[in-house]
Structure 1
Amino acid sequence: MTLTEWLAYIERQHPKSIDMGLERVRDVAGRLGLTRPARHVITVGGTNGKGSTVAFIEAIADAAGWRVGAYTSPHLLVYNERVRVDGHDADDARLVAAFEAIEAARGDTSLTYFEYGTLAALWLFEHADLDLAILEVGLGGRLDATNIVDSDVAVITTVDLDHQDYLGGDRETIGFEKAGIARGWKPLVLGDDDPPSSVLRHAYAIGASALRIGCDFFIGAAPGEAQQDSPAAGQWRWREVGYQLDLPLPKLAAPAQLRNAAVAIAALRALDQPLDDTAIVRGVAAADVAGRLQRFERDGIEVVVDVGHNPQAARELAAWLQASSAPGRTHAVYAALSDKDVAGVVAALAPAVDQWHLAGLAEQAPRGADVDAFAERLAGTPAAAGTRHADVASALDEVLRQAGQGDRVLVFGSFHTAAAALVRLC
């Protein structure tokens, strides 16, 4: 079968799209003879910032001359994006070979789409002689398929409300699920200034060494020193006790990207492997990932595409929009899946948006819906009165016809939303 045929096949092999638990995937990994995907492993979990943090870790390790594999999800345009070795997406032939090996090994064990993909990545990494494998958690952590691997360093970027149907309805419960990627007597890097107490309790209970931003490592100069962490200065400073390094501003634009870069540096330093300053500088400057405040220009109109889909991400988007104000109006093209807190997203972004344009994601059923159903969920919010469009592409086309020079268009709300915009813009 071709890769396209394999992907269609594996979507049909389990009755649920999400079925959290490690028994099935661990059993098949054992039959495949998988042992360890690389000499060193970093697992990255969290509500937001996972993909960007993986990109920073990958770019710095690559600049250091390490052989690196990265597994991320979901993809934007093609499935191959999910598995990278030495900065290159896995080609169709390698992914097909991995799926064939999994199919031959699994017997009558059913696997979800994500579990197939995780095993394929681990199989490919184990055959690639890697110095470092970076695994991005798909959902939660404790019961996520990536958690069959014991990592050398675990990372939790942030903890906020998302996927409550699976992870729980508050930060403490969600934090406990995410903390499940930590391992006893291994570093756990935390990107929250105030992580849930459930995360810290779990780290203490298993003997994990928690490294906290603002406590064990820092963004910015020490008290009494000149500040370096501002766009005007053109650089920022990462520091811990006994070590500091001045760095260029990342290519990735959101305010949270300094935090993501800082967490990535802390994770790599926690590996306790040789890593020179030059590699960190080069990696921070080079790191890039699609769909994170990705900018385009169309006839004097700035178009910004972002995958942000929950209130925490929306707050970061609002901070960036307000800090980098456009001379004209700001239009938001918004399309989201049915399990998201859309009212919370709009509340966070409303002060930075002049005009709302809603789009449907009916083709993503059952989690997607048409634009009228989407608008009903937004009743009572400033976005409810926005113009309605059948899909993201038609919404973007219409907004670009209406907008004037100096206006800005933000397209956001889901990986599916960002993907549709990128297909139209690229």
Structure 2
Amino acid sequence: MTLSEWLNDLEQRHPTEIDLGLERVRLVFDRLQLTDSMPYCIVVGGTNGKGSTLKAIENGLSSVGLRIGTYTSPHLYRFNERICLQGKEVGDQTLVDAFDVVERARGDISLTYFEFTTLAAFVVFSNAFRAGELDAIICEVGLGGRLDAVNVLDGDLSLVTSIGLDHQDWLGNTIEEIAREKAGIFRPSKLGLVGETFPNSILNELIAVGYSLSIYGEDFGITHKGDCRFEFFTGSKLVLLDPCQQSSLPKNNLCLAMQACIIALEAKEGGELTPKTLDRCAKAISKTQVPGRLQQVSEEPVIIFDVAHNEAAAQFLADYLSNKHLGRKVRAVFSCLKDKDIRAIVRIMSPFISEWFIAPLKGSRAMSVEAIENELSFVGAQVRSFDDLSDAFAAASDVGCSQDAMVLAFGSFYVLESLGERILVE
């Protein structure tokens, strides 16, 4: 089968799209016998900031010569984005070969699309490592942590970027419940990094049973900051991070990436890093940009794509608009999944948006246009509805051109995927 045929087949195999649990995927992982043929592994979890933190870590480690593999999800434009070796998407044939290996190993065990493709990523990484072409891998958790397929790997270093309310149907209805699920990627014998919004109650639980954690704001973080540049500290080390004009990522994410790079490099090199290595790593992290995160894809009109799809991400996006585009009319191209807290998203974003252009996503998890219209009506929003996101985007862009307004496409990864041919993947 071709890659396209494989992906179409995998989408239809398992009875449910999301089926959390490690029993089935661990059985196949054990059959693949990959445990002893995997490189140094960093696992990245959290509610928001996983992809950008992963990219910043990749940039930092690559800048000092390490050969890195990355696994992320979902993709924006094509499936190959999910699995990269040394910064390049793997080819179709490499993926097909890995799928064949997983297919032979699974036997009669049913796997979800995500479980199957995650195992295929591990096969790709194992092959590259055994061929002497890979030094480390960075893997992004898909949903939650404890029961996510990525968690069959025992990460040498695991980190949780942030905790917020999202995916409550699977992870729980409180910050504490969600934090427990995401903390499932930590291992008692390995170091874990914790971002700025992790609840103290769960931190104390983990520390009480012997987990070794490095905590943002205590063990590492910011000592001094100006308008956009800031000084990062960890132990006695001080490093300047300067994302001015180059990165709009949260400082929490950049600090987590810097700390992860220092730990990984010291583990690989067996000692303290030189100032030159630290500086090179910091400069690479400071330049991190991620497709789909505050990504400006056009100047006339100004068009920004962002994957913000929950309350915390919407707040970060609103803060960005307030700081960079206050007073400018914004036309929003929007849709979301029905398990999202659309009321919170609309409440945060509506003060900045003069008109909403909405359309449905595809699939059973999509929120209906009627439900979106209903939520927008509560804030008296001006709304135009369409059958297709491409039509909504075209209409918003036409208005943007004629009225010097900014166009913002957001609400879900799947919004940007639907507009894939318009995304400038750099």
| TM-score between both structures, scaled by the size of structure 1 | 0.91
Q: What's the CA shift for 1:382?
A: 4.0
Gaps of 5+ in 2: none
Aligned length: 411
1:93-112 alignment, distance < 5 Å: 93-112=93-112
1:180 aligns to what SS in structure 2?
Answer: helix
How many Å separate the matches in 2 of 1:136 and 1:340? Answer: 20
The answer for the alignment partner of 1:196 in structure 2 is 199
The answer for the alignment partner of 1:401 in structure 2 is 398
Q: What's the CA shift for 1:250?
A: 6.2
Aligned residues of 1:179 and 1:202 also touching (Cα < 8 A):
no
1:154-233 alignment, distance < 5 Å: 154-192=158-196, 194-221=197-224, 227-228=225-226, 230-231=227-228
The AA in structure 1 aligned to 2:390 is: A
Tell me if 1:421 matches 2:425: no
Aligned residues of 1:69 and 1:134 also touching (Cα < 8 A):
yes
How many Å separate the matches in 1 of 2:329 and 2:344? Answer: 22
1:295 aligns to what SS in structure 2?
Answer: strand
Aligned residues of 2:234 and 2:259 also touching (Cα < 8 A):
no
Residues 37 and 402 (structure 1), Cα distance of their counterparts in 2 relative to 1, 3 Å cut: farther
Over 6 Å off, 4+ runs: none
The answer for the alignment partner of 1:296 in structure 2 is 297
The AA in structure 2 aligned to 1:152 is: D
Query: Which deviates more, 38-47 or 327-336?
Result: 327-336
1:267 aligns to what SS in structure 2?
Answer: helix
Q: What's the CA shift for 1:212?
A: 1.5
The answer for the alignment partner of 2:284 in structure 1 is 283
How many Å separate the matches in 1 of 2:194 and 2:64? Answer: 23
Q: What's the CA shift for 1:289?
A: 1.8
The AA in structure 2 aligned to 1:141 is: G
Aligned residues of 2:77 and 2:417 also touching (Cα < 8 A):
yes
Tell me if 1:248 matches 2:245: no
Aligned residues of 2:247 and 2:287 also touching (Cα < 8 A):
no
The answer for the alignment partner of 2:39 in structure 1 is 39
1:13-24 alignment, distance < 5 Å: 13-24=13-24
Query: Which deviates more, 60-69 or 206-215?
Result: 206-215
How many Å separate the matches in 2 of 1:189 and 1:159? Answer: 13
- Deviation per CA, 1:240-284: give whole Å up to 9, x if none: 231111122166643x53221111111222333345123313421
Aligned residues of 2:247 and 2:286 also touching (Cα < 8 A):
no
How many Å separate the matches in 2 of 1:89 and 1:206? Answer: 40
Tell me if 1:139 matches 2:157: no
Equivalent residue in structure 2 for 1:263, among 256, 266, 269: 256
Residues 253 and 393 (structure 1), Cα distance of their counterparts in 2 relative to 1, 3 Å cut: farther
How many Å separate the matches in 1 of 2:8 and 2:244? Answer: 37
The AA in structure 2 aligned to 1:213 is: Y
Equivalent residue in structure 1 for 2:155, among 141, 144, 151: 151
Q: What's the CA shift for 1:138?
A: 0.4
How many Å separate the matches in 1 of 2:346 and 2:408? Answer: 13
1:382-401 alignment, distance < 5 Å: 382-383=380-381, 385-401=382-398
The AA in structure 1 aligned to 2:416 is: A
Residues 66 and 382 (structure 1), Cα distance of their counterparts in 2 relative to 1, 3 Å cut: farther
Residues 161 and 37 (structure 1), Cα distance of their counterparts in 2 relative to 1, 3 Å cut: farther
How many Å separate the matches in 2 of 1:128 and 1:425? Answer: 30
The AA in structure 2 aligned to 1:392 is: L
1:199 aligns to what SS in structure 2?
Answer: helix
1:201 aligns to what SS in structure 2?
Answer: helix
Residues 198 and 167 (structure 1), Cα distance of their counterparts in 2 relative to 1, 3 Å cut: farther
Aligned residues of 1:250 and 1:287 also touching (Cα < 8 A):
no
Instruction: Calculate the aligned-residue CA RMSD, in Å.
Output: 1.9
Aligned residues of 1:314 and 1:348 also touching (Cα < 8 A):
yes
How many Å separate the matches in 2 of 1:219 and 1:350? Answer: 32
Q: What's the CA shift for 1:126?
A: 0.8
The answer for the alignment partner of 2:363 in structure 1 is 365
How many Å separate the matches in 1 of 2:245 and 2:40? Answer: 27
How many Å separate the matches in 2 of 1:50 and 1:12? Answer: 28
1:245 aligns to what SS in structure 2?
Answer: strand
Residues 252 and 38 (structure 1), Cα distance of their counterparts in 2 relative to 1, 3 Å cut: farther
- Deviation per CA, 1:15-70: give whole Å up to 9, x if none: 11111111111111111111156431110000000000000011111111111111
The answer for the alignment partner of 1:330 in structure 2 is 330
Gaps of 5+ in 1: 222-226
Aligned residues of 2:257 and 2:285 also touching (Cα < 8 A):
no
How many Å separate the matches in 2 of 1:103 and 1:419? Answer: 27
1:84 aligns to what SS in structure 2?
Answer: strand
How many Å separate the matches in 1 of 2:112 and 2:52? Answer: 25
Aligned residues of 1:44 and 1:135 also touching (Cα < 8 A):
yes
- Deviation per CA, 1:165-203: give whole Å up to 9, x if none: 0000010000000000001132211112x4223531342
Aligned residues of 1:36 and 1:149 also touching (Cα < 8 A):
no
| TM-score between both structures, scaled by the size of structure 2 | 0.91
Aligned residues of 2:179 and 2:202 also touching (Cα < 8 A):
yes
How many Å separate the matches in 1 of 2:179 and 2:191? Answer: 17
